[in-house]
Amino acid sequence: MDVAFGTFWTPYFCKVFFMINYMMYNFAQSVVNVLHVHGPMSFSFPTISSFLNEMCLSFGSSLAGRIEAFKYHVDIRKHVPVYVNDEHIFFEAEDNLWINAQAIARIDHTNKKRCEVVFHDHTSIVCIHPRRIERLIGLIFCFRHKLANEILPNASSPHRNLSSSRTALSFHAEAC
């Protein structure tokens, strides 16, 4: 596996040409292991949070800012997903295991407490907490729906007043 070091690789994140499937922290080597469509790769960061923060900073804001934004738009307190960009929306499936929701092809339930997450490139990983995973994917869908319809105006609709609390309440009642 290749190892990339700290902030030297910041421009690398701006040019992510591959989709990350999942990432986990390797405590023995103190690296973040990433599995993407072209295979495994390791990054030398002290935590997954610092790796995610570096990715978020490459796309315009900090990890804390992205978490607060998600909390603001979708009613969630624990296990908050991280919207890095359109191709990378990570959520914590287990301790030290973050999955990219955009890379998931399907979820197969093996039993009541386990599921197999299958990615678009036909790799998979077995996870516990299938209900949490499905709930977080639903909240990510709500957040993306809100981004598309409320926050990012398109050419066919006039710009909306984002400070309108009635709009926020109607979205929450309809979509989520």
Site of tokens 């910041």:
10
Quick one: pLDDT at residue 150? 72
Q: If you average pLDDT over every residue of the chain, what do you get?
A: 80
Mean pLDDT of 91-107: 94
% of the chain with per-residue pLDDT over 70: 76
What's the pTM value of the predicted model, to 2 decimals? 0.76
Residue 172 in contact with residue 166, Cβ under 8 Å? no
Residue 113 in contact with residue 128, Cβ under 8 Å? yes
